[in-house]
Structure 1
């Protein structure tokens, strides 16, 4: 489209709203979990993991607040982008496919936003459990599974948008 991209009012799909609620609820639950166990956490907690899931750096327990800060920053930033699909760069935007492209773009941002946040929730939960000696290492199958869902969904939406 050579002219300015139209601004359309695309309603958010119900599953995207439900995904937002689920993600925010899990994020809040993880923060509550962290705060409930705060006084029992040792001064040094896992801060980094090797490819095998084993802790390879320890840091201050206050570093646990970096992950929620990153999650909040990502969630808000992608939430704003989700609301304005006309601002995205599209490869093959045409008058006959603009609405579906915007819809795919919104869903893409929603999935990316929520999966990124869920990844942070998982890591916060795992760091807390390792510090409390409830587990010994990062659960790599779940970690890789979350990353796989994130990257597969990115690839899927990119493919769908290209196909249009």
Structure 2
């Protein structure tokens, strides 16, 4: 039977707070951009992209509203999880490493939350520009960079945890 994990008050690092502010500002800018462009959007907008970034399905412009909705729900959900690192599952959690594991967990959740939200910022911006015929396809170097940052940060987290 598993023993109960201690609840520690882990302060969010200053860099994580700054990352939150930056990402919230970028997300707000993407929403403002979407609102300003809304009346110019055609009825059919890109709704799905192939592996090369080309549009492979079109849908109603109302589908574009799913991106900010999902982005907000994910950000808020991960923000709530970030506050409760004792609720996570850990490998090798011991009394001598609980605090560092929780610190890693808080930082991991913050980075995952914010990079995931940056992905939504990117998709809102790119989908809007493709719908308005400003560009032809997703900017794949930026898209791949965001994915590398997301999955790379996960890899760094798991590497650090395994070293404990």
Smaller-chain TM-score bracket: over 0.9
Partner in structure 2 of residue 80 of structure 1: 80
Give the deviation of 1:52 after TM superposition: 1.0
Give the deviation of 1:3 after TM superposition: 2.6
Deviations 1:80-129 (A, max 9, x none): 11000001111101111110000000000000000011001100100000
Q: Secondary structure, in 3 states, of the residue corresponding to 2:136?
A: coil
Partner in structure 1 of residue 49 of structure 2: 49
Q: Secondary structure, in 3 states, of the residue corresponding to 2:3?
A: coil
Aligned: 1:140 with 2:140: yes
Deviations 1:45-89 (A, max 9, x none): 111111111111111111110011110111011111100000111
Partner in structure 1 of residue 25 of structure 2: 25
State the alpha-carbon separation in 2 of the partners of residues 2 and 92 from structure 1: 12
Runs of 4+ in 1 over 2 A off after TM superposition: none
RMSD: 1.1
Give the deviation of 1:162 after TM superposition: 1.3
Structure 1: runs of 5+ lacking an equivalent: none
State the alpha-carbon separation in 2 of the partners of residues 44 and 3 from structure 1: 54
Q: TM-score, normalised by structure 1?
A: 0.98
- Give the count of matched residue pairs: 164
